[in-house]
Amino acid sequence: ASGGGEFVINQDEIDRLRRKRREERKQEKEAERQRKAEEKERERQAKLREKEEKKRKRAQTVGMSSSSKRKAMNDGLVSKWMQVKQEVAASEDPDSDEDGDVLLAHEEKKKHEEIEKWKEDQLRSGEAEANVNFAPIQGDWRERLKQRKEEAAKAEKKQKKERSAGLPDGWQAVADPASGEVYYANVSTGESQWEKPTAS
C-alpha cells in the first residue's frame, strides 16, 4: 500500500498466492490419501495377525489330548461369549449411534404424523383456504429463480456502470466483497484507491 489511501493490486502476488493455495490443497489431499492408505494397511495387518493366531491355535490343538482340546475349545467359547456379551451391552447403551438413529427416525415419523394430522384438520375445518401454506405454487420455481438471478445480475451491471460513469479512462468502480463499499481500480496500471479519481 502506498500513502494517501491508495492500494496497489499486484496481480503477480495474487497469482503466487493462488498457486501456493492450490499446492497446499494438493498436499492436504495427498496427506489424506496417505492417511487412508496407512489405515487400510493397518486393518489388513490386523486381519493377517488374527488369521495367524487362529492357525497357531489350531496347530496347538492338533497334538493335544481330547480333554485338552475340550478345555481349549471351552476357553474359546467363553471368550467368544464374553465378546458377544460386550457387544450386546454396547448396543443397549442409550448413547450408542444405532439407538440414536432409531430414536431420530422415530421422532421424524412422529413429527411427520403430526404435520399430516394438522393438515387434515386445516382442510376439514376450512381454515386451509386462508392459509398460504395450502396455496398451489404457480409456474415453475426453477424458472422464477433463474429469472431473479438474471435480474440481479442486470441490476449489478447497471449499478457498476452508473458508479463508473464520469471516471477517467481505465478506471472502474468496484464493490469490495467483504464490506460492500466501493473502491476504484485502474485496470491498465493495477492501481486502486478508495477516493474517486478525477481526470488530471
For residue 68, what pLDDT band results from cuts at 50, 70 and 90? low
CB-based contacts of 99: which residues, under 8 Å, 6+ apart? 91, 93
Question: What are the distances in angstroms from CA 182 to CA 80, 169, 196, 200?
Answer: 71, 18, 9, 21
Question: What are the distances in angstroms from CA 7 to CA 16, 57, 71, 169, 185?
Answer: 18, 76, 84, 18, 9
Q: Mean pLDDT throughout 156-177?
A: 85
Flag whether pLDDT at 135 surpasses 80.
no
| 182-186 and 6-8 beta bridge pairing | unpaired
Provide the whole-model pTM: 0.28
Question: What are the distances in angstroms from CA 37 to CA 32, 34, 50?
Answer: 9, 5, 20
Is-contact 186 196, C-beta < 8 A?
no
Is-contact 182 173, C-beta < 8 A?
yes
Q: Mean pLDDT throughout 82-86?
A: 77
Measured CA to CA, the distance from residue 170 to residue 186 in angstroms comes to 5
Q: Tally Cβ neighbours within 10 Å of residue 173.
A: 19
Q: What is the pLDDT of residue 33?
A: 92
Flag whether pLDDT at 3 surpasses 60.
no
